[in-house]
Amino acid sequence: MISSFHTAYSTVYTAPMAHPLVEQLRFARKEFQRGLKNISEEDGQKRLGTMNSLSWIVAHMAWQEQLYWLTRAQGLMPAPEVREQASGAPASTPSLAAAWKAWKTITSASDAWLDTLTSQRLTEFLTQDDGTPYRESIGSYLLRVRHHYWYHLGESQAIRQMLSHTSLGTYVGDQHGKAPYQPED
């Protein structure tokens, strides 16, 4: 039974070119975008009590991806403003449009480097300017970012409910169709 299913399935499905964990990160990004679509600039900048603004959440995720994949891995920083807006600094409410623009710039710029990752590379450590390694492997960074997206996606949905938004996305989207389990190389 399983072998006949596998044969039929393998003729239809084409494995992604990137490492399976990179594909899972990309799925988390898409779900993040889906969970934060159709938000006005005004609602994006609202803070409810001590909760983050939705615009801060977008800038914060942009900051983390920039830090790991661009700054630490490649010495690049295409959107320095996200560091000041969303890296543990006091609460801020950046423009939602500007946060999305930075996020898209950063994630697009990160993709070529992420596509180079292999199982072996995921066990390696990025190094600081003085040559000492950072405390987590590239693979651990990849898992951290993916999990971080899910954390903030849940937070954003709670904020949206408090803002009386309706027609929110259902959790989790089409994972099997867009990011099914794939064995590592």
Query: What is the reported pLDDT for 6?
Result: 41
Per residue in 21-77, pLDDT tens?
Answer: 999 999 999 999 999 999 999 999 999 999 999 999 999 999 999 999 999 999 999
The encoded tokens of residue 62 equal: 């942009």
84 versus 97: the higher-pLDDT residue is: 97
Output the CATH code of domain 24-178. Answer: 1.20.120.450
User: What pTM does this model have?
Assistant: 0.86
Q: What is the pLDDT of residues 124-141, one digit of tens each?
A: 999 999 999 999 999 999
Residue 121's nearest CA partner among 141, 99, 96 is: 141
Q: Which residues contact 25 (CB under 8 A, 6 or more apart)?
A: 114, 142, 145, 146, 149
- Count Cβ atoms below 10 Å from residue 159 Cβ, excluding itself: 23
Q: Cα(37)–Cα(45) distance, rounded to whole angstroms? A: 14
